[in-house]
Amino acid sequence: MFFEIALSYLLCIFKLLFKTQTKQISLFSMYEELKYWYLRDHKLFRVLSFAQIKQLCIIVGFKKANKGEIIYFSNSETPRIFLLKRGAIKIVSLDEDGNETIKDIVQKGDLFGELTLESDSVVNEYAKVLTDEVSICSFLLSDFEDLMLRNPNLALGYTKFVGLKMKRLKNNYSNLVSKDARTRLIAFLKDWAEKEGVFENQKVTLGNYLTQNDIAQIICTSRQTATTLLNEMVESGLLEYNRKEIIIPDISVL
């Protein structure tokens, strides 16, 4: 098993600081430091200075969870935005008829939660942990709004970020309308490869934390169809597939 990333970060910073300037560094300030790094490496917050982030202290929660765990985050008393620091989760929504659909796969470094800045109580969403373990930090929507009001650059950046999400969704939408399941599967695999794949020339290796059922839901088809398509692709040599990893021998011919 691995240590919590927060801990390792802390340790690292701790060591460094001890060597150079042990005196006035309290544990509290190290905690602040940590928050800084957590936010710091999200591109959204790059526009802010070190001092600014430190000052703001908007992170109010850390959380760690293991595979299979379910994290409820919608209709919470106080709306929050979450930042996934490690691992991957899926956002699942339960509609009135009781069937669950995958809204999104959130990976390391991604934000999720009330991204539209308006909490709507109607939707019933929760997150399910896909990887061995995840760590998540969160801040209050209201704090974030204040922060944006004081930093128009951040607001602009955030708007573009939401815009990007929107563009992706639009793309999925038009795929769903005009392309068949096979094409959608290929598009999804390419996407996934681009985001997380390890490239060796044309060969791409993906750590596979999705079941075929997950994949099916993402590309909006039935589990059986997804299974058949995947096996067909394995058959024709486009793919190597098992529960642990997916290898695409040559992504250019996918």
Question: Which residues are near a copy of itself by CB under 8 A?
Answer: 93, 95, 97, 99, 101, 103, 115-118, 120, 145, 148-153, 155-156, 158-160, 162-167, 169-170, 172-174, 176-178, 220
Q: What share of the chain is helix, strand, coil (3-state, %, to 5)?
A: 45, 25, 30
Site for DNA in 185-214 (CB under 7 A): 211-213
Decide whether 95 or 132 has the Cβ nearer to a copy of itself.
95
The CB-of-218 to DNA minimum distance in angstroms stands at 12
Count the residues of the shown chain that bind DNA, applying the rule CB under 7 A: 20
- 212-217 long-range contacts, CB within 8 A, separation 24+: 214/90, 214/102, 214/130, 215/185, 215/188, 217/100, 217/101, 217/102
**Short-list 198, 120, 115, CA closest to 161:** 115
The CB-of-186 to DNA minimum distance in angstroms stands at 12
Phi, psi of 203 (to 5 degrees): -90, 135
The CB-of-75 to DNA minimum distance in angstroms stands at 25
74 touches, from a copy of itself, DNA, none (C-beta below 5 to 8 Å by class): none
**Short-list 212, 243, 214, 205, CA closest to 228:** 212
200 touches, from DNA, a copy of itself, none (C-beta below 5 to 8 Å by class): none
Does position 92 interact with DNA (CB under 7 A)? The reply is: no
CA–CA distances in Å: residue 139 to residues 75, 77, 78: 15, 13, 10
C-alpha R_g of the chain: 20
The CB-of-14 to a copy of itself minimum distance in angstroms stands at 37
Write out the residues near DNA by the rule CB under 7 A: 180-182, 211-213, 220-225, 227-228, 230-231, 241-244
